[in-house]
Amino acid sequence: MNHYIAISILSVCITTVFTLITKETQEERIRYFLKLLSYMVVGSFVVAWIMYSVP
């Protein structure tokens, strides 16, 4: 298992918990889940790119 799969699994778990404890309706939960998951995955790519370029 590479790092990308591991961070994706972690992102899904964290996003699921945050979604279940913060939103009330099913529609809000789905929208919030997808938005938060995309933020976490894109954010991990940005941080990885920054860390790669720093010696």
Contacts from 9-13 at CB under 8 Å and sequence distance 24+? Answer: 11/37, 11/40, 11/41, 11/44, 12/37
What's the pTM value of the predicted model, to 2 decimals? 0.81
Structure confidence by residue, pLDDT tens digits, 5-54: 898 899 999 999 999 999 999 999 999 999 999 999 999 989 989 998 88
pLDDT at 3 over 90: no
Q: Which domain, by its residues, includes 40?
A: 3-53
* Domains of the chain: total: 1
